[in-house]
Chain A
Amino acid sequence: MTEEKILLDHGSGGKVSHSMFFDLILPIFESPELLKQDDGATLEMGGAKLAFSTDSYVVDPIFFPGGNIGDLAINGTVNDIAMCGAVPQFISVGLILEEGFPVRDLKIILESMATAAKKAGVRIVTGDTKVVPKGKADKIFINTSGIGLILPGVNVSGANAKPGDAVIISGTLADHGITVLSTREGLKFDSDIKTDSAPLNGMVQSILQSGCEVHVLRDPTRGGLGTTLNEIAVQSGVEIVIDEPSLPIRGPVKGTCELLGFDPLYIANEGKLVAFVPEADVGKVLEIMQKNEYGKDAAVIGTVSRKSSGKVFLKTFIGGTRLVDMLTGDQLPRIC
Chain B
Amino acid sequence: MAMKYIEEYRDAGLAKDLIKKIHGVSKKNLRLMEVCGTHTMSIFRHGIRSVLPKTITLLSGPGCPVCVTAQKDIDAFVEFAKLKNVIVTTFGDLIRVPGSRSSLGKEKADGADVRIVYSIFDAVHIAKENKDKDVVFCGVGFETTIPTIAAGILMAIEENLHNFFVYSANKLTPPALAALMETKGVEIDGFILPGHVSVITGTQAYRGTFEKYRMPSVISGFEPIDILNAVLLLIEQNEKGRPALVNAYERAVCDEGNVKAKQIMNQVFEVCPASWRGIGEIPFSGMGLKKEYQAFDAALKFNMNLPDVPEPRGCACGEILMGLKTPEQCSLYKKKCTPMTPVGPCMVSSEGSCAAFYKYS
Contact = CB atoms under 8 A, between A and B. Distances in A.
Given A16-B340, A250-B1, A255-B3, A322 B224 contact: no
Contacts of A9: 96, 105, 340
A7 B105 contact: yes
A159 B117 CA distance: 40
Interface string B118-150: 100010000000000000000000000000000
A15 B12 contact: no
Nearest to B93: A261
A317 B15 contact: yes
B10 A318 contact: yes
Interface residues on B, range: 35 or more
A5 B3 contact: no
B48 A318 contact: yes
Interface in A43-65: none
A254 B46 contact: no
B47 A318 contact: yes
Given A5-B106, A322-B45, A322-B361, A328 B50 contact: no
Interface in B316-341: 339-340
A258 B340 contact: no
B48 A320 contact: yes
A26 B248 CA distance: 54
A130 B236 CA distance: 70
Given A251-B2, A318-B46, A323 B361 contact: yes
Interface in A295-336: 314-323, 325, 328-329
Contacts of A6: 109
A320 B359 contact: no
Most buried by B among A19, A252, A316, A320: A320
Contacts of A323: 359-361
A255 B1 CA distance: 10
Contacts of B105: 7-9
A133 interface: no
Contacts of B94: none
B15 A319 contact: yes
Nearest to B103: A7
**Which of A186, A314, A319, A322 gathers most chain B CB within 10 Å?**
A322
B32 to A, nearest CB: 17
Nearest to B52: A320
B49 A320 contact: yes
A15 B341 CA distance: 11
B284 interface: no
B47 A251 contact: no
Nearest to A261: B350
> Among the interface residues A186, A187, A314, A315, which one has the most CB atoms of the partner chain B within 10 A?
A186
A100 interface: no
Interface of B: 1-3, 6, 10-12, 15-16, 19, 44-51, 96, 101-102, 105-106, 109-110, 117-118, 122, 224-225, 228, 339-340, 350, 358-361
Interface of A: 2, 5-9, 15-16, 19, 186-187, 245, 250-252, 254-255, 258, 260-261, 263, 314-323, 325, 328-329
28 contacts: A2-B106, A7-B106, A9-B105, A186-B118, A251-B2, A254-B3, A260-B118, A263-B45, A314-B47, A317-B10, A317-B11, A317-B46, A318-B12, A318-B16, A318-B47, A318-B48, A318-B225, A319-B12, A319-B47, A320-B224, A322-B47, A322-B50, A322-B360, A323-B361, A325-B359, A325-B360, A328-B359, A329-B339
Please give me the 5 A-B residue pairs with the lowest Cβ-Cβ distance, nearest first: A320-B47, A251-B1, A318-B15, A328-B339, A317-B10
